[in-house]
Amino acid sequence: MKFADWAVSHRRGILFLAFAIAMAGIAAALTVPVGLFPKVSFPRIEASLDAGDRPAKQMVLQVTRVAEKAVRSIPGVVGVRSTTSRGTADVSVNMAWGTDTRIAALEVESALTGALPSMPPGTAVSVRRMDPTVFPVAGYALTSDQTDQIALRLYVRDQLVPALSAINGVADVTIGGGDIGEFEVEVSDEQMVQAGVVIGDVSNALAASNVLQAVGRIEDLHKLYLVVTDDRLKTMDDIKKTIIRAGPSGTITLDDIATVREAAAPNWTIVTSNGKPAVLFQVYQQPGSNTVQIVKDVKSKLETLKAGLPAGTQMRNWYDQSDLILASAASVRDAILIGVGLAALVLLFFLRNIKVTLIALIAVPAALASSILILKIFGRSFNIMTLGGMAAAIGLVIDDAIVMIEQMVRGLAERKEASHAERARAAAASFFKPFLGSSLATVVIFLPLAFLSGVTGAFFQALSLTMASALIFSFLVGWLAIPLIADKLLTQKDVDREEKRDTKKGLIDRLYTGAIRTLLRAPILALLIVGVFLGGSYLAYKHVGSGFMPHMDEGGFVLDYVAPAGTALTDVDNLLKQVEAILLATPEVDTFSRRTGIQLGGGLTEANAGDFFVKLKPLPRRPIDAVMTEVRDKIGAHVPALDTDTALLMEDLIGDLTSVPQPVEIKVYGDDQAKLTEIAGNVAKAIGGVQGLVSILDGIVLAGDALTITVDRPLAELNGLDPTEVTQQINALLTGDLPTQITQGINVMDVRVRLPATERTTIDDISRFEIRNTNGALVPLSRIAKIERVTGQPELTRENMKQMVAVTARIDGRDMGSAVADVINILKSDASLIPAPYTWEIGGLYKEQQASFRGLMTVFGTGIILVFMLVLFLYESFAIAVTLLFVPLIGAGAVFIGLFVTSTELNISALMGLTMILGIMTEVSIFYFSKYQDLCKTGMERFEALVQAGQARFRPILMTTVAAILALIPLALAIGQGSAMQQPLAIAIISGLIVQMPLVLIVIPSVYRILGRIPKPGKVNDA
């Protein structure tokens, strides 16, 4: 029994199976997680080390170098980059793509823990994996005119964090801003001198007076008792009554020599929302969880808690990742519906038959539902890449349906002596080989993407899986379901109507027949046309800009800023209040949050730096790029002391995940930090004139001024002191001792003992500090130590164990490729900018772009080889296989022209489209050559077969081309928020489709006539 007969005999089972798979896909759609990005584990581990407030150079020697050496020996490490500041260091460990980052994180943590004995005592280490979940899915701000920042923070910590942490899928809820309450004991130097005590005596007395300790057990009256001494301090009055000294002359209590009050702990960061002091809390998701559902649950929970907000408190949502996800999903949904609708109109226009149109369109929901089922099976999510893949696949799915239904109609019109069912089976069976070959031509293009690494592979593998699964199921539906449905629904009347219309040759058919006969007789003309076209393509290629990721309006942006090094925190705050006024006056701004001394993405941040997250109002409004440029220009004009930098969310997130946040990065290597600083400044000035470069930074991040207290050891010894004792007492006087803690309800509050602010504000105040020696005598600090002011202590950056400074810039109003090319030309043309032995290289997102381009071009080349092999297996003809090599050549040229005409950058999305067009054009070419071979088998002359194959395939190719173009138009227009990610891909595919018909129906036959040595009509074929 032939397969066609078997399929007919199992019609109900096959159709029910297809229906069941589609229903399973629809059911899976209800449970597939929804997120912004694919589930990607970036091969980077971030380690943070804290060793107090020691100078950066000392940190490098004692901590950073030890940590770098420890992690560099871990298998799979490809690079180590570190940034060191006063007392802290961030070490970024880059692994090979494909590394299990969970295991890698444990190995990094283990290596650093093993190295801790070689670091200063008390050094703390924390390690985290880098993936998209390091960015919050939702962020809220609490501001109040009536409740203080201590109470607001306690409310968030004690009420909101526990409630939100219980939500399914929430990994963490972090708090930023606000104040932490403590009891502050201020003891003036004068009062301590009068009482004959030092600050250490006060601390010791408080610690000794606040005791809760189990001292043993006893048995009595048949019970076992735990004996506990409870001498805890419970109230502020208890603190005040603490006895500092008792003797014959009387008792000195803390209240006699100190002021005790509730206060905020020292804080060198500032957090605001819409210009008001705020407490921020961010919600982070677990990997693989449903972002939209998490945010929905968070909103619902917060709504129930609003009644309990402290008096006068307002809650603002300053970030909601689900907004972009839902907007992107709506855009893709609209693109799919519009595309399908337009394709249906095309089919109705050409076929004039509603039944035939509906049969063709049935493949769309079946293929999409099946692809959703595959996403569920492979643990993928709905995100901007998978949803975009569905939208991009619509045109190709409709193509498959069109060619099969057209084949069925043609087959039913032939062999009138056979029954209707026999003709239907024969039509489907005879089309199996070209239909399978054409589907494979598109699917095999996606195979090399499975081996693509880097950011491109991480993102586009999700799109490839979606499209490949949709196309595979499209083939199965077209091969099995459509013939079975058409066999029952198409009547002889439908066939006769199509056959009658087919016999009427329109003007376009006659023009095509004349053109193909002319060019086949003189194929050199076709090659000349191709040459002219390729020349134009080359010119377009030279003028097309290049980028990395498509620019997408995500509804918000990040504004980074840096104030002059050493600027007081109060002065930085005053500068930023002017920035807040600019944002509040910008009509497109909905809300914003600001961090100073910390950053949203974490990492090492000085007190003069930080960021804003600016949330814009929903569309319609001005494009986000226009808003960003205006804000940046206004800050430059009105707050020139600030260096600012704006970035789109995706760009900023990918930069944080890959540790290369800037598009342009010039890495300069050398051993002398002073010389590196000089070179970096010169390079920054040199590239300042490059068109399109903005936010140029020389990479020298100064930690601000410092006071260095150098203890004279001999003098200290003569006065009964050593440097360690001096350091400990200065810390107590300046920052304060934390001798004990007091429980207040469910809170534990520190008790801080230190001098009043009026006695520790200036350098002179510090020089007057009195240090107690081992004999109890007080020694002025100025007698045993020298106090010096040190300015401009820079952060130190190292890469792969080498000292490095990175000059960075962003790009505005210009493509990345040409801007970086100008930068490279400047560096190469003036060797004095970076003299030997200092070296340089280009990093940043440009380096990632180049790696991605190389990977995609490898995929493109591999795709050509796979398609060549496929065609060779199908036809066993080198002439046909070599002829089809013109497909990628002309297709690429069409893509470059399309990008040039639409002013679209050549980025990874466009290159993905370029790769896909290879398979799409080959698919149509296979249909043409299959018909050509069928005609040759009937004994027709090869020349005439080339003509009639084109005539036979003209209408289906025209239908599929127009339908595919119209299906992709919504994506190409980037209608809706979040749709810009697939726009370059759609433009690239449409550009290729536009030249598809003349390429396949005119150029390919002309080239094949030469390679196949086909004679003119009437001549003997000696091939």
CATH class name, domain 1-31+353-504: mainly alpha
pLDDT at 1019 over 60: no
Q: What is the pLDDT of residues 414-473, one digit of tens each?
A: 666 667 677 777 777 778 888 888 888 888 888 887 777 777 777 778 888 888 888 888
C-alpha dist (Å) from residue 331 to 138, 372, 375, 801, 964: 21, 18, 20, 47, 18
Predicted confidence at residue 510, as pLDDT, reads: 78
Q: What is the pLDDT of residues 969-987, one digit of tens each?
A: 888 887 766 677 788 988 9
Q: What is the pLDDT of residues 644-697, one digit of tens each?
A: 888 887 777 776 676 666 788 899 999 888 899 889 989 999 998 888 888 888
Predicted confidence at residue 475, as pLDDT, reads: 87
Predicted confidence at residue 346, as pLDDT, reads: 80
Q: What is the pLDDT of residues 252-281, one digit of tens each?
A: 888 888 889 988 888 889 999 999 999 999
Q: 619, 518, 514, 600: which is closest to 561 by C-alpha?
A: 600
pLDDT at 700 over 50: yes
Predicted confidence at residue 1021, as pLDDT, reads: 47
Residue type, 693: L
Taking domain 560-661, whether its CATH number is 3.20.20.60 is answered by no
Sort 462 into a burial class: Cβ within 10 Å, 0-12 / 13-18 / 19+.
buried
Residue type, 105: A
Predicted confidence at residue 594, as pLDDT, reads: 93
Fold agreement (1-31+353-504, 560-661): no
pLDDT at 116 over 80: yes
Predicted confidence at residue 1, as pLDDT, reads: 47
Average pLDDT in the 821-832 region? 90
Q: Which helix (H) or strand (E) holds 771?
A: strand 770-772
Predicted confidence at residue 202, as pLDDT, reads: 87
Q: What is the CB-side half-sphere exposure of residue 846 using CA atoms within 13 A?
A: 24
pLDDT > 70: percent of the chain = 95
Predicted confidence at residue 162, as pLDDT, reads: 93
pLDDT at 498 over 70: no
Q: Which two tokens stand for residue 24?
A: 């399973």
Confidence of residue 586 (pLDDT cuts 50, 70, 90): very high
Least confident of 491-505, 651-665, 729-743: 491-505
DSSP state of 1018: T
CATH class name, domain 183-261: alpha beta
Predicted confidence at residue 1002, as pLDDT, reads: 87
Average pLDDT, the chain: 85
pLDDT > 90: percent of the chain = 17
Confidence of residue 502 (pLDDT cuts 50, 70, 90): low
Please state, as a whole number, how many other Cβ atoms lie within 10 Å of the Cβ of residue 131.
Answer: 17
What is the architecture, at CATH level 2, of domain 41-130? 2-Layer Sandwich (3.30)
Confidence of residue 639 (pLDDT cuts 50, 70, 90): very high
Sort 88 into a burial class: Cβ within 10 Å, 0-12 / 13-18 / 19+.
buried
- Spans of all domains in the chain: 1-31+353-504, 41-130, 183-261, 560-661
How far apart are the C-alpha atoms of 911 and 906, rounded to whole Å?
Answer: 7
How far apart are the C-alpha atoms of 33 and 462, rounded to whole Å?
Answer: 14
Identify the top-confidence range among 27-31, 153-157, 334-338, 745-749.
Answer: 153-157
Average pLDDT in the 537-546 region? 89
